[in-house]
Homo-oligomer: A and B are copies of this chain.
């Protein structure tokens, strides 16, 4: 019998390794897998590349990873935030590398990885600093930049509910990067607020089929309340 449910956060992230690339879902706090990130800190893996929309804020999550000096590089669209002081300090000190990617290109490159494309021509960023040095091409009168897929060793995502096969559904805009990151990582680990029986999720409404999920771990649905 296949049971992808991990008994603990600790076991869920046990095979992380130094130097790993890790996708982390979330847009602001919505969809951010805080408990999994806490487990990463406890695990101790370092020299990480973090792929996420933001570079952390406040004292938790990606910010805590950066503060603990575990992060070598951040690939994101929006590092600068009101409380991104941990990123800001490490970045200015040259201790964290930044690859800035327009948000839609970040999504498209993650999708390209998940769907096995070798590269894509995207119009976003053409003629800007963020396309400097990149190959471009005019296609049907419009200009495009050649962008490559972003793969990762791990994806840490947050979903509302899941079953032992790894099927997931999300909650409102906490969905954001979860489904596409699940497809792009070698190992996808989801924290869910609820584990349900096989068959309890409507097969028409499953957002992430279990094929894209390696492990689930249940955490109490506190993070939203805590964020509020």
Residue in chain B with minimal CB distance to A138: B118
Question: B139–A170 contact, CB under 8 A?
Answer: no
Q: Contact string, A87-125, partner B, CB cutoff 8 A, digits 1/0?
A: 000000000000000000000100010011111111100
Is there an interface contact between A119 and B144, defined as CB atoms closer than 8 Å? yes
How many copies of this protein are present in the complex?
Answer: 2
27 contacts between A and B (CB under 8 A): A108-B115, A108-B117, A112-B120, A116-B122, A116-B123, A117-B120, A117-B122, A117-B144, A118-B121, A118-B122, A118-B123, A118-B137, A118-B140, A118-B142, A118-B144, A119-B120, A119-B137, A120-B120, A120-B121, A139-B148, A169-B204, A170-B204, A171-B204, A172-B204, A202-B205, A204-B207, A205-B205
How long is the Cα–Cα vector from A205 to B207 in the complex, in angstroms?
Answer: 8
Q: Give Cα A172–Cα B203 distance, bound, in whole angstroms.
A: 8
The interface of chain A, by Cβ under 8 A from chain B, is 108, 112, 115-123, 137, 139-140, 142, 144, 148, 169-172, 202, 204-205, 207
Q: Please, which residues of chain B bring their CB within 8 A of the CB of A108?
A: 115, 117
Which chain B residue lies CB-closest to A147? B117
What residues on B are CB-neighbors of A122 within 8 Å?
A: 116-118
List 5 extra interface pairs beyond A118-B121, A172-B204, A204-B205, CB under 8 A: A117-B122, A118-B122, A118-B123, A120-B120, A171-B204
A140 to B117, CA, bound (A): 12
- Bound together, the chains give a CA A59 to CA B173 distance in angstroms of 46
The residue of chain B having its C-beta at the shortest distance from the C-beta of A160 within the complex is B204
Q: State A118–B142 Cα separation when bound (angstroms).
A: 8
Residues of B within 8 A of A118 (CB): 121-123, 137, 139-140, 142, 144
From residue A180, how far is it (CB to closest CB) to chain B in Å? 12
Chain B residues, CB < 8 A from A139: 118-119, 148
Q: How far is the CB of A143 from chain B (nearest CB, A)?
A: 8
Q: A169 to B121, alpha carbons, bound, how many Å?
A: 31
Question: Complex Cα distance A202/B137, Å?
Answer: 41
Rounded to whole Å, the gap between the CB of A134 and the closest CB of chain B is 13
Residue of B nearest to A144 (CB): B118
